[in-house]
Structure 1
Amino acid sequence: MQVAAIDCGTNSIRLLIADVAGGALTDVSRRMEIVRLGEGVDRTGRLAPEAIERTRTALLGYAAEIAELGVDRVRMCATSASRDASNAEDFRSMVRAVLGVEPEVISGEEEARLSFAGAVNGLNAEPPYLVVDIGGGSTEFVVGFERVEHAVSVDIGCVRMTERHLHGDPPAPAEVAAAEADITRTVDAALRKVSGHGAMTLVGLAGSVTTVAALALRLPEYDAARIHHARIPYDDVAKVTADLLGSTVADRRDLPVMHPGRADVIGAGALILRVIMERSGKLSVVASEHDILDGIAFSLA
């Protein structure tokens, strides 16, 4: 069976087309576009028309590839931004027109479950796992062994924290301190809710984490195979975070592993990861290239 999974978040929209057999996924195609669907949602409570149009343009390309390959099943999940927006129906009607399926605006708990399923498949590390999916608008905290035991979704993400706090280029120390205080309060509450301090292995998902891992590994270019399941020590995460927050957007964009559309929000994403490591007491994080997208694909099988 061939399936297509689409994950539309606050910052990016991603496609995975995969063959599913015997409980395993074989990638046919993985694509990602930065569309910033959630631009301004934290401030206005609405999806901007230009953000919906950027998403529509990316989705047109995905729909063409899905049709060309004759995929058996399609599932599209939309997360933080489209949960929060008062005009989410504008987004949903656009998706129906382009893709021909209803986008599922999933809850934070479902987002957490799918992320966990994608992340722990094939992971060789000591459970229980604390899986954190740092998105654009929200971050999911999930604790479990082979399945989810506890999960919570909280409204901190790289886009949301940048828009709320980090206005300078580079951000001023006072802005960083305000962001860190905001993140710390939320992380502490989330860790208490999921009993995160007792987990043995911290697993980090999504573009902020994998970009920090690529920088910590000093890769000459983005290499998903090198990043997947790499274990990054806290000291390396702290150094990368300080470097990113101390540099301009233009400087970040020049880094060889940096996606241009992530350069303005990566400092906040790295800060969220660093605070999670500090508050949970974890000395390292395992970066995973498998996440909610893989969980969506597994759900279709």
Structure 2
Amino acid sequence: MTCVAAIDCGTNTIRLLVADAVRDERTGAVRLHPLHRSSTIVRLGQGVDRTGRLDPEALARTLAVVREYAATCAGLDVPLNAEHARFVATSATRDAENRDEFVDGVRAALGIVPEVVSGEEEARLSFAGSLLGADDDGAPAAGPADADRAGQEPAKQRNEASRGPRLVVDLGGGSTELVLGVDAPQAAYSMNTGSVRITERYLADGVTPAAEQAARAEVRALLDRAADAVDLGAATRLVGLAGTISTVTAHALGLDAFDRDAIDGAELSIARVLASCDAIVHSTAAQRESWGYLLPGRRDVIAAGALVWSEVVSRVAADTAAAGHPLTTAVTSLSDILDGIAISLLPAGAQA
């Protein structure tokens, strides 16, 4: 057993997972036993799409949280070294010409060098993390055995082809990764779009018909490019990760507050997902404030995130239908890139 600390620093949110990681010596499978989880919306990517630089205030907000995370790790006796801790920075930091200021600040606060990973590495880590949220046949491992809970689709209605390749979609603030594979990625593509980027480009002044049309056109064009690298029609299961998708799922389930057990592994019909996306895209500020599962720091970008997710879901549904095996459901997993970062710290030969 190895105690590890994983930090995922995205465009909108920074998160920490401290866990005991165990590898089964017979199967090689890894399990995480979480000791601590933290998530803070810092909007590191504020303005990066427009300026190409990390904003000083956003940088200060983020580094303040990094110092808090360092204290948390110290309190849990996690060694802050390359063998036990990994800090991964994604889209916003990749795009920023002053990323060295961030790297130096993290090194000073945490004692380890943050990795500014490529979109391909981000996709690989997301896929690896998503596998912890499902059992061998692709059915959710977390929560009650039957999916007849909180309005989910019954387990008997699950796609019989779920043993085939899954398409994992990690929808972030600045980028959206699409990864196709069974036990490992077979193809991956990182789209330069996400909830913060679409908000700043098109929806900063609200969702008008013209702005919505322009935003959807951009996402569709990016999906056309993604389809050249990833066969979206080959997917037999669609798995969505990250804050936007968990919010859409909470809305679809009619939750009053964030409920990890209800959201993790939730399998909903495509029609239901798209209906919730549409409702969120066209929601009012008052409605968003009333949703207990939606954090204040996500309220201003959730419409854009839901718009991107609706376009991805619609495209995958259309491509799988054209391929002769239409997907009828989408699954939400709360095991994601953060979990993938954690298990990457466990040596391949480590024993349980």
TM-score bracket, normalised by the shorter chain, equals over 0.9
Unaligned runs of 5+ in 1: none
Candidates 141, 145, 160, aligned match of 2:197:
160
The two structures have a TM-score, normalised by structure 1, of 0.97
Aligned residue runs from structure 1 range 39-188, under 5 A: 39-72=46-79, 73-124=84-135, 125=138, 126=162, 127-169=164-206, 171-188=207-224
Corresponding residue for residue 342 of structure 2: 297
Corresponding residue for residue 20 of structure 2: 19
Candidates 260, 269, 275, aligned match of 1:239:
275
Q: What's the CA shift for 1:153?
A: 0.7
Q: In the alignment, is residue 37 of structure 1 matched against residue 41 of structure 2?
A: no
Unaligned runs of 5+ in 2: 24-29, 139-161, 318-326, 347-352
Q: What's the CA shift for 1:250?
A: 4.2
C-alpha offsets along residues 217-254 of structure 1, whole Å, 9 cap, x if unaligned? 01121011110110122222222222222223343122
Displaced runs of 4+ in structure 1, greater than 6 A?
A: none
Contact 1:277–1:283 under 8 Å retained in 2: no
C-alpha offsets along residues 17-73 of structure 1, whole Å, 9 cap, x if unaligned? 000123210011111000000011110000000000110111111110001111141
Q: What's the CA shift for 1:178?
A: 0.7
Larger radius of gyration: 2
Q: What's the CA shift for 1:215?
A: 0.6
Aligned length: 300
Candidates 305, 315, 330, aligned match of 1:285:
330
Residue identity opposite 2:205 in structure 1: G
Q: In the alignment, is residue 204 of structure 1 matched against residue 211 of structure 2?
A: no
Aligned residue runs from structure 1 range 212-227, under 5 A: 212-227=248-263
Q: What's the CA shift for 1:284?
A: 2.0
- Secondary structure in 2 matching 1:121: helix
- Secondary structure in 2 matching 1:165: helix
Residue identity opposite 1:200 in structure 2: T
Distance in 1 of aligned mates of 2:286 and 2:92: 26
Residue identity opposite 1:246 in structure 2: H
The two structures have a TM-score, normalised by structure 2, of 0.83
Distance in 2 of aligned mates of 1:3 and 1:155: 30
Residue identity opposite 1:69 in structure 2: L
CA RMSD after TM alignment: 1.1
Distance in 2 of aligned mates of 1:28 and 1:162: 35
Contact 1:244–1:266 under 8 Å retained in 2: yes
Contact 1:39–1:51 under 8 Å retained in 2: yes
Identity %: 48
C-alpha offsets along residues 239-291 of structure 1, whole Å, 9 cap, x if unaligned? 22222222233431221111111011111111111111111114321000000
Contact 1:167–1:175 under 8 Å retained in 2: no
